Every structure is written in C-alpha cells, then in structure tokens.
C-alpha cells in the first residue's frame, strides 16, 4: 500500500470513529435531589436512568445531602464542580442560597437546570416545573373542597418555609380561594419534609383546630405523615388528608380512609424529562431561551416562558379506583 493510500485509509478510519462516537466520552449528568432516602426522588432517578439508557452516552450521578438544607446541597454542588461533571439538574432546597455556587458551576462550563423545586433565574439556565403552578395550586384546594360540599376549616402542612415549589403552589392556591366558598384555611405549618416533624405538626393542627375537616400536604413526606396522624388520632372520616403524594406510599392510607384522593405527576417522568433536557443543553442540541422549546424524549417538548421556565405535564388524581394500579410503579 502506498504512503498516500495508507494516509487516506487512516484518515477515513479516524473520521469513521469520530462519526460513530467511538471516542466520545459519556455525558455525566448529576441528578441532585433535596435529600437522599425520599421515595419521590428515588423514583425520579429511575426515570433518569431510563433516559440515560435510551440516549446511550449518558452517565447519571444520583446524589444529594442527607437532610433538606441549602448548606448540604452546596457541599454536593462543590463536589460535582470538582468532578467536572457535564450537567447538574437540581431540585433546590432554597431559591436563592444556591445561586452563587451554581453560578460558579456555570462559569466552569457546566450546564445547570433546576427541576421540581427551582432556583432563581441567575442560578440556572432553565427550570422544569412538574406541572403548571396555577393548575397545581387549584388542584390541591379542589381535592379538599370536592369532599366538603358544606365547606369547613382546612390547614396546610408544607415542607420547609423556604421551599420554592411549595410556596409557589400555596400562593396559587390562595389566588383561587374565591372559587371555593365556605372553605377556610386556618393555618399553614411546616414539617421540613421530615416524617416525625410532619406527624407532630399534623397532630398539633387537629388539637388546635377541633373542627378541622382537611389537611392539605403538598409534599410526599408530609401527606403520609398526616394520614398516619389522622389514623392514630381516630379521626378517619372526620379529617381528610389530601395534597401531593406517591401511590406506593399512599395506597394503604386511601384504603384506610384517611385520604380520599390525592394528586401527583409521575416522578419517573420528571427525572426522565430533566435528564433529557440537561443532555440536550449540555450537548448543544438545544438552547434555553424565552419562547424556545427543548426536547424531552417521550415526554414531548417543553416550551420556556420569559423566566426560562416550562411545565412538564398536568397533575393526575389518584383515589381508591386507581391507586393500586400505580402503587406498584412508584
């Protein structure tokens, strides 16, 4: 073989290897959750792994602090910056506290998005809401009102006082209270997404407000704790627990009667969509811009608003007719 032919053959082989991605390093996408050990986020990780398998050149790093604090997440982010990951997709414990650290990540060329619970605009390229915040806000009060035809006192058991998503949903709920005459929100308390504290807060609500008819918990940890508190207090049929929860964790409480219905998006879909978005941004296949769209694989496309936020899907209601079907999935 002539030197020229050999050179051309070598060049062609190199081109073919590049074209097939033989030397391409996998994109390392960190899925950063509020805290480890929470079922909702473990389900989201299943979706992230599904996306990684579908894409083929993605490694998912599932990580988070041991408690739901901004300080814990900052430590995790700094470690990921040191590892030089390609993308960080975070469900934030605080809207503003994470911004400086996430800006540092972006300055190092790391793609940063938030999902589920957002960070301020300066700290990310886009935010993926699980659903539309107005729809969620309306849904959580509607679930309570639908079972209170004569009205009554209800209370909210949230996660942390700084939790971005919960605060937004509660604000949206308050905007539509005029649509539910006779429903009176008597208190909002915080269980910090800790089962024991949420249980104590729910018990305290029932003791402080003896005419309480419903507890709305827009948190998968809080809703389970509140349902258990109602059962332990012997108030099944008197206090209905509703809000946002996982079918696998709520099925028993639905059958026990402490919760007549609740809602949630599919966290598997949410983890999948966040990973797809992070991949498309990190690989340059999409850009985060107002009015633009970003592909989410089987979840379709997300359209970004002026605040560079988009919604994945509508919330879905679970009750005794369908909770068992979904409880084996997540």
| pLDDT at res. 329 | 79
Q: Are residues 69 and 170 in the same domain?
A: no
Q: Are residues 137 and 259 in the same domain?
A: yes
Q: Are residues 291 and 220 in the same domain?
A: no
Torsion angle of C-alpha atoms 134, 175, 68, 83, degrees rounded to 10: 40
Q: Are residues 57 and 169 in the same domain?
A: no
| pLDDT at res. 309 | 96
DSSP 73-133: HHHHHHHHHHHT-SEEEE--S-TTTTHHHHHHHHHTT-EEEEESS---GGG-SEEEESS-H
pLDDT digits (tens, 9 = 90+) for 61-71: 999 999 999 99
Domain count across the chain: 2
Beta-bridge mates of residue 244: 263
Q: Does residue 56 belong to any structural domain of this protein?
A: yes
Q: Are residues 137 and 260 in the same domain?
A: yes
CATH number assigned to the domain comprising residue 34:
3.40.50.2300
Q: Are residues 153 and 165 in the same domain?
A: yes
Query: How far apart, in whole angstroms, are the C-alpha atoms of residue 4 and residue 9?
Result: 9
Q: Which of 224, 240, 264 is the last residue of a domain?
A: 264
| pLDDT at res. 21 | 43
Q: Does residue 325 belong to any structural domain of this protein?
A: no
Query: How far apart, in whole angstroms, are the C-alpha atoms of residue 188 and residue 170?
Result: 9
The DSSP bridge pattern shows strands 87-90 and 27-32 to be parallel
Low-confidence spans in the chain with pLDDT less than 70:
1-23
**Model pTM above 0.85:** no
Q: Are residues 247 and 281 in the same domain?
A: no
Containing structural domain, residue 309 = 9-129+267-313
Q: Which of 206, 239, 264 is the last residue of a domain?
A: 264
Which one, of 151, 213, 214, lies nearest residue 183 by Cα? 151
Q: Are residues 252 and 271 in the same domain?
A: no
| pLDDT at res. 81 | 98
10 Å Cβ neighbour count for 203? Answer: 17
| pLDDT at res. 265 | 87
The separation between the first and the last C-alpha atoms of the chain, rounded to the nearest angstrom, is 61
| pLDDT at res. 15 | 44
């Amino acid at each position: 073989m002539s030197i020229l032919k050999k050179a051309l053959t070598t060049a062609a082989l190199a081109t073919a290897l590049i074209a097939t991605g033989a030397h391409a390093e996998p994109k390392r996408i960190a899925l950063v959750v509020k805290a480890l050990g929470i079922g909702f986020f473990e389900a989201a990780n299943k979706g992230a792994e599904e996306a990684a398998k579908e894409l083929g050149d993605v490694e998912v790093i599932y990580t988070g602090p041991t408690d739901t604090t901004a300080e814990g997440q900052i430590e995790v982010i700094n470690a990921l910056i040191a590892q030089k990951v390609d993308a960080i997709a975070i469900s934030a414990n605080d809207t503003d506290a994470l911004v400086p650290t996430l800006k540092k990540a972006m300055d190092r060329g790391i793609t940063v998005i938030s999902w589920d619970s957002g960070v301020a605009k300066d700290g990310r390229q886009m935010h993926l809401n699980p659903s539309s915040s107005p729809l969620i806000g309306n849904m959580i009060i509607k679930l309570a009102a639908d079972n209170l035809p004569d009205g009554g006192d209800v209370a909210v058991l949230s996660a942390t006082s700084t939790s971005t998503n919960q605060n937004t949903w509660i604000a949206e709920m308050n905007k539509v209270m005029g649509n539910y005459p006779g429903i009176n929100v008597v208190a909002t308390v915080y269980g910090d997404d800790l089962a024991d504290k949420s249980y104590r807060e729910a018990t305290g609500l029932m003791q402080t407000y003896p005419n309480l008819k419903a507890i709305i918990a827009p948190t998968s940890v809080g809703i389970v704790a509140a349902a258990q508190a109602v059962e332990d207090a012997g108030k099944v049929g008197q206090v209905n627990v509703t809000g946002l929860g996982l079918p696998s964790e709520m099925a028993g409480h639905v059958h026990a009667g402490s919760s007549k219905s609740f809602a949630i998006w599919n966290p598997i879909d949410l983890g999948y969509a966040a990973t797809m978005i992070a991949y498309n941004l990190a690989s340059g296949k999409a850009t985060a811009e107002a009015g633009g769209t970003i592909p989410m694989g089987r979840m379709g496309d997300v359209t970004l608003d002026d605040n560079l936020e988009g919604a994945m899907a509508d919330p879905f209601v679970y009750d005794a007719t369908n909770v068992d079907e979904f409880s084996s999935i997540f």
